Chains A and B, each alone.
Chain A
Amino acid sequence: MKYLLLNYMNETTMLSLPKEDAGRMHAAYMAYVDAMNKAGVLLANHGLRPTSEATTVRAPGGKQTVLDGPFAETKEQLGGYFLIEVADLDAALSWAARCPGAELGAIEVRPVWG
């Protein structure tokens, strides 16, 4: 089964982490990705630049609008994702719990179609 782990976090909190904590968090993410690769479960992953750099496109009734910013203002923002392939939801949840981002934010686990 494929699952997408969506890593939500408060961007302001993340960007204002003391340098030492930020470094440790970064290293923890690298180790996490490494462990997923070694366990053979990781299909793809990326970190996202802040939502301040986002652009949102809509075309209601064919009429295009382009707006600066994310699709919605939320307290926590999507900061990255991990696409994994594991046996079941239980296994996906245990990988989500290991994500360093779970300490400061939330990991949404979504089954993928197909």
Chain B
Amino acid sequence: MGIVAKTAEAVARASYGKLVAFLAARTRDVAGAEDALSEAFAAALADWPQSGIPRSPEAWLLTVARRKLIDTARRRRTSDEAAPTLALLADELDEGDGRMEIPDERLRLMFACAHPAIDAGVRAPLILQAVLGFDAPRIASAFLVAPATMSQRLVRAKNRLRQAGIPFHIPERDELAPRLEAVLEAIYAVYAEGWADPAGTHARSRGLAEEGIALGRVVVALVSEEPEALGLLALMLHAEARRDARRDRRGEFVPLDFQDPARWDAALIDEAETLLFAASRMGRPGRFQLEAAVQSAHAARRLTGATDWDAIVQLYDALLAHMPSIVVAINRAVALAQRLGGSEGAAEGLAALDALQHGRELADYQPYWAARAALLARAGNATEAIEAYRRAIGLESDPAVRRFLQTELARVAT
């Protein structure tokens, strides 16, 4: 790859979201901004080898992309949409002499992507595309959706952004918290897809976990007085600190309780703890701070050598009160069993699992069956444990976890 292509690619990686955000914030047209920007990148690859790499490649790209947007708008002069687009873009075009500082409006773009008028399931994919420039097939693979379907959903969401007049602004203080929650949830979904990726090693190359953390850092930098933003970043950093410890040397799955704390990334844990401490001083607890606190309690094992299950149960109680969810309820049941230990603890955990609604949603919910199997095994109920392990194995899509469960099953069966 030549120096020009390399520079263009580096600018694309570093500035894509910033440029889309800047353009789309003025036109509300994310698809149009993306198209104009990709034309600008193509123009750069043609122009820069001749005229040299401009002093500010970002500003150069922005100027070209704006011209493309204005051209497009002029061509559909008849349509009502064109007039405001032209006005908004022309306003600022004169400032673009290559020395202008381009403001970072990615957070505004994220708030638009995570707007309540956008279907919740498409918010995280939309952020991946609009802010990070991921293409539809890559997003589709991450979220286990057909690429054609994902493309349609993204197109529909972008049309809705434009047509519904969804504002590209950071909400005022009184409506910030609920709107921020949607942004944070979408970022967490990005991270979680990377984290849950089968084999773990693929996640690194695909980089979803890293992108989630990068987005979390953007939000923390822009709304540093919002404790939940800090809590989410702390939560992701705690999980990231344990990424490598989740597999042994042969690539086999290692559950949290059996991980060697020496393999955890101390620097990431320290950063997470600092963030969580800063968040807690703001005195406004929330879902992400509580989840980060659970991870913090697990991380404390590297210092104390033991896990404070009593604290973890209390945190799950608080989480359940805050945000009732099946995942939290299952984790709480396991923590209950750990707190008391032995077969008595297992019985208490099983009772908590039994108390869950046995609806259809549990029939193909892997974590439920894996938790149930482990507790049944510990309670000495081999027959039911074997049955539950088989359900968990059949529902697992990560081969390493599947092998781990098969080993556990063999242990109970003999």
Binding site for B on A (CB under 8 A): 24, 27-28, 30-36, 38-41, 89-90, 93-94, 97-98, 100, 102-103
Q: Assuming A24-B403, A28-B406, is B395 touching A35 (CB within 8 A)?
A: yes
The 5 closest A-B pairs by CB, nearest first: A35-B394, A31-B394, A31-B393, A39-B364, A97-B397
User: Chain B: which residue is nearest A89 at the CB level?
Assistant: B146
Contacting residue for A27 out of B149, B198, B364, B406, CB 8 A:
B406
Complex Cα spacing A41 to B198, Å: 23
Residue B402 lies at the interface, judged by CB distance under 8 Å to chain A? yes
Number of A-B residue pairs having CB atoms within 8 Å of each other in the complex: 55
User: Chain B: which residue is nearest A86 at the CB level?
Assistant: B364
A94: shortest Cβ distance to chain B, in Å?
6
Residue B165 lies at the interface, judged by CB distance under 8 Å to chain A? no
A3: shortest Cβ distance to chain B, in Å?
11
Q: Is the CB of B396 within 8 A of A34?
A: no
User: Chain A: which residue is nearest B406 at the CB level?
Assistant: A24
User: Chain B: which residue is nearest A24 at the CB level?
Assistant: B406
Binding site for A on B (CB under 8 A): 144-146, 149, 198, 363-364, 390-391, 393-397, 399, 402-403, 406
User: Chain A: which residue is nearest B402 at the CB level?
Assistant: A28
Q: Is the CB of A93 within 8 A of B403?
A: no
Complex Cα spacing A44 to B84, Å: 58
Q: Is the CB of B390 within 8 A of A34?
A: yes
- Which residues of chain B are near A24, meaning CB under 8 Å? 403, 406
Complex Cα spacing A24 to B402, Å: 10
- A-B residue pairs in contact (CB < 8 Å), sample of 14: A28-B406, A30-B390, A31-B390, A31-B391, A32-B393, A35-B391, A38-B363, A40-B363, A89-B145, A89-B146, A94-B144, A98-B397, A102-B397, A103-B399
- Which residues of chain A are near B391, meaning CB under 8 Å? 31, 34-35, 38
Q: Is the CB of B144 within 8 A of A36?
A: no
User: Chain B: which residue is nearest A29 at the CB level?
Assistant: B394
Q: Assuming A97-B397, A102-B397, is B406 touching A35 (CB within 8 A)?
A: no
Complex Cα spacing A32 to B394, Å: 4
A25: shortest Cβ distance to chain B, in Å?
10
Contacting residue for B145 out of A33, A39, A93, A102, CB 8 A:
A93
- Which residues of chain B are near A41, meaning CB under 8 Å? 364
Q: Is the CB of A36 within 8 A of B394?
A: yes
B32: shortest Cβ distance to chain A, in Å?
29
Identify which of B144, B363, B393 gathers the most chain A CB atoms within 10 Å of its CB: B393
Contacting residue for B393 out of A28, A38, A93, CB 8 A:
A28
- Which residues of chain B are near A33, meaning CB under 8 Å? 394
Complex Cα spacing A33 to B393, Å: 10
Q: Is the CB of A97 within 8 A of B144?
A: yes
- Which residues of chain B are near A98, meaning CB under 8 Å? 394-397
User: Chain A: which residue is nearest B198 at the CB level?
Assistant: A97
Q: Is the CB of A90 within 8 A of B393?
A: no
A113: shortest Cβ distance to chain B, in Å?
18
B77: shortest Cβ distance to chain A, in Å?
41
Q: Is the CB of B144 within 8 A of A90?
A: yes
- Which residues of chain B are near A27, meaning CB under 8 Å? 393, 406
A47: shortest Cβ distance to chain B, in Å?
16
User: Chain A: which residue is nearest B148 at the CB level?
Assistant: A89
